Amino acid sequence: MNYYHEKKLAHAYLISTNNINKCLKVLLNVIKNIFCVDTFSDNCNKCSLCHLIDINNLPSLKIIAPDGEFIKKAQILELKNFFAKNSIYTNESMYIILNAEKMNKESANTMLKFLEEPDSDVIGFFLTNEKDNILPTILSRCQELTAHFPNAYYEELNIAEDKYQELNNILKEYLMKIEIEKRKQILYNREYLSNLNLDRSDIKVFLQMMLFTYKSVLNNELEENSPYSFLNKYSFNNIEKKTNLLIELLKEISYNVNVELLLDRLVIEFEVINNETL
Ligand SMILES: [Zn+2]
């Protein structure tokens, strides 16, 4: 935005990002901010330009995504022809190339010619999550930017998405058993965990997810339709004790403590906490 207002925008930007979709969302907001004819806010419902961007129908903004495996030459040619006429809608015309590393040699060469004859009113954004695969000739004609977004929760936990789903389902079922159904049979709760046959690293992630859940109850951060909203019936004191216990157990599991003993403690101490505080 600053570059734009200082009239220092380059003709082409290469944005490397770890999340193309989120990056596109932010970029479109910047573009709306530039084009908006009203006072821009995140939900400008007033002006038609913002609306046209929302429905991807603004004639002076083109978004190109890979057609199958590649971004094809025909797609770049179409873009070129499109911008041959000046925009009557906005001062500048803009295009966004999603997964720019998917340009094959042919389309990259066509793109290159387009970049070499810079029309001052056309600005391009090349988004990539594989910067190393961008052709050097393209790279050298772009200003580089990076946009890093926090990873999905399962990526933070360093596990695959399906593993995350599996453990998440187990967590839901387990918490419902111990916190809703109030099965006071410690042995039963303990057996349930044993029967899951989780290995040490799974148990660690399981405890991390459990901690994350209790922490979000503690901080009042459960999402509105969270499957864990039943935990809200417990007092702050109760949830805080469980949170602290989980932090302690997670420390211990890093110290090679016996996992069976650790799960014993989890089950027993949760029971104690629930008996002492509601
Ligand atoms: Zn607007």
Asked if residue 104 has pLDDT above 80, the reply is: yes
Asked if residue 217 has pLDDT above 70, the reply is: yes
Q: Count other C-beta atoms under 10 Å from residue 232's C-beta.
A: 11
- What confidence tens digit (pLDDT) does each residue in 158-189 have? 788 888 899 999 999 999 888 887 656 777 78
Neighbours of ion ligand 1 (CB under 5 A): 36, 38, 44, 47, 50
**Mean pLDDT, rounded, for 32-40:** 81
C-alpha 126 – ligand 1 centre gap (Å): 24
C-alpha 121 – ligand 1 centre gap (Å): 20
Q: Nearest 5°: phi and psi at 169?
A: -65, -40
**Higher-pLDDT residue of 160, 242:** 242
Q: How far apart are CA 232 and CA 15, in angstroms?
A: 42
**Mean pLDDT, rounded, for 253-257:** 84
C-alpha 45 – ligand 1 centre gap (Å): 7
Enumerate residues 6+ apart whose C-beta is below 8 A from 29. 42
Q: How confident is the model at residue 204 (pLDDT cuts 50, 70, 90)?
A: very high
Q: Which of 66-80, 180-194, 212-226 has the lowest mean pLDDT?
A: 180-194
- What confidence tens digit (pLDDT) does each residue in 86-97 have? 667 788 899 999
Distances (CA, A) of 25 to 20, 31, 231: 9, 10, 34
C-alpha 117 – ligand 1 centre gap (Å): 31
C-alpha 51 – ligand 1 centre gap (Å): 7
Percent of the chain clearing pLDDT 90 (strictly above): 47
The reply to whether CATH 3.30.930.10 applies to domain 2-150 is no
C-alpha 58 – ligand 1 centre gap (Å): 12
| Most confident among 56-70, 147-161, 187-201 (mean pLDDT) | 56-70
- What confidence tens digit (pLDDT) does each residue in 106-115 have? 999 999 988 8
Q: How confident is the model at residue 42 (pLDDT cuts 50, 70, 90)?
A: low
Task: Say which residue the tokens 């015309």 belong to.
Answer: 93
Distances (CA, A) of 136 to 77, 104, 109, 140, 178: 21, 13, 12, 6, 58
Which two structure tokens, joined as six digits, stand for 225? Answer: 């339709």
pLDDT at 86: 65
Asked if residue 271 has pLDDT above 80, the reply is: yes
Coil, strand or helix: which one is 258? coil
C-alpha 127 – ligand 1 centre gap (Å): 24
Question: Looking at the chain, which residues constitute the CATH 3.40.50.300 domain(s)?
Answer: 2-150
3-state percent breakdown (helix, strand, coil) of the chain, nearest 5: 55, 10, 35
